[in-house]
Amino acid sequence: MNVVVIEDERLTAERLISLIKKYDAAITVLARLSSVAESLAWFRTNAFPSVDLIFMDIHLEDGDGFQIISELNLKTPIIFTTAFDGYMIQAFKVNSIDYLLKPLNDEELTAALDKFKSLRSGHELQTGTLPADMNALIRQLSQPAKATFKERFMITVGTRIRSIQAESIAYFYLESKTVLLVTDEGTLLPVDYSLDKLVQLLDPQQFFRVSRQFIVSLKAIQFVHTMSAGKWKLDLLPKAKQEVVVSGDRIADFKRWLGKE
């Protein structure tokens, strides 16, 4: 079986490929693509019939996966992987085999691949219609999903998975190429998202990216200090390990976010 992985988070893509290989070492990953543009270019220069299945993140760095499907008129079966559940109905309407929420786990991926193999062996993928269970799901979820921001993060720590509510997060920061989440209680946990991706996922009313290193929540800001050269320094709670300074080019937006202008 030949598959393509479309995912813009490197760590998530590596974990997904590892799980795929664990399921069946004979599966060939033809490409790992990280954007809409890269995916369009790859598919336009490679034969569609050579791809049996696509794993596709919905939110990509330059758009969403549905753009790829629409522009290429893709008919290849897809397993969606995403941090949101608000796109479920739309996902199942575009030749979707399954829908996996991040962080991915072995059991759900195995079930999705088993479903794909079962549908393919029963020739249901060649009819151009959705299997009965998917149609039933769409009918059940008949109300269009409202656009939502990420409410919780599933954090993998060794063999354990922790659920962290977004409202209990004080800030995120980048340290040695790793993004860390800091809870209100001061617990540090690594996340599989870049700061760029987190900006897309988080509620902009509650979180603001003050610099290339920090995304802070409104409630975590205790004091704002003015500095020379027009910069502002923040005191956060819990206290940050390094100085938190609002970048000069973000000052105006930061003021508006705080409600000062």
Alpha helices in the chain (DSSP H): 10-23, 36-45, 65-72, 88-92, 106-121, 132-140, 195-201, 251-258
**Hey, is 151 helix, strand or coil?**
coil
User: Are residues 176 and 115 in contact, defined by beta-carbon separation less than 8 angstroms?
Assistant: no
CA trace torsion 219, 157, 113, 14 (10° rounding): 90
Q: State the chain's mean pLDDT as an integer.
A: 83
pLDDT value of residue 235: 96
| pLDDT of 8 above 60 | yes
Average pLDDT over residues 150-160: 79
Tell the residue number behind the tokens 């690594």, with chain if given. Answer: 190
Can you give the C-alpha Rg of the chain in angstroms? 21
What are the chain's domains? 2-140 (3.40.50.2300), 152-258 (2.40.50.1020)
User: Are residues 258 and 250 in contact, defined by beta-carbon separation less than 8 angstroms?
Assistant: no
Number of Cβ atoms within 10 Å of the Cβ of 208: 22
Least confident window among 40-49, 107-116, 169-178, 181-190: 40-49
| pLDDT of 137 above 50 | no
Residue 36 belongs to what H/E stretch? helix 36-45
Residues 6+ apart with CB under 8 A from 118: none
pLDDT band at 128 (very low <50, low <70, confident <90, very high): very low
Number of Cβ atoms within 10 Å of the Cβ of 165: 11
- C-alpha–C-alpha distance, residues 116 and 139, integer Å: 21
Number of Cβ atoms within 10 Å of the Cβ of 161: 11
Q: Per the confidence metrics, is the pTM higher than 0.75? A: no
More confident call, 149 vs 185: 185
Average pLDDT over residues 181-199: 91
The rounded Cα 118 to chain-centroid distance in angstroms is 27
| pLDDT of 159 above 80 | no
pLDDT value of residue 92: 59
| pLDDT of 134 above 90 | no
pLDDT value of residue 144: 45
- C-alpha–C-alpha distance, residues 62 and 8, integer Å: 9
| pLDDT of 57 above 80 | yes
Nearest CA among 122, 121, 46, 129 for reference residue 93:
129
Nearest CA among 48, 64, 47 for reference residue 56:
64
Average pLDDT over residues 18-24: 94
What strands, in cross-sheet order, belong to the sheet with 221-226?
221-226, 232-236, 244-246
| pLDDT of 42 above 90 | yes
Q: Which two tokens stand for residue 128?
A: 């151009």
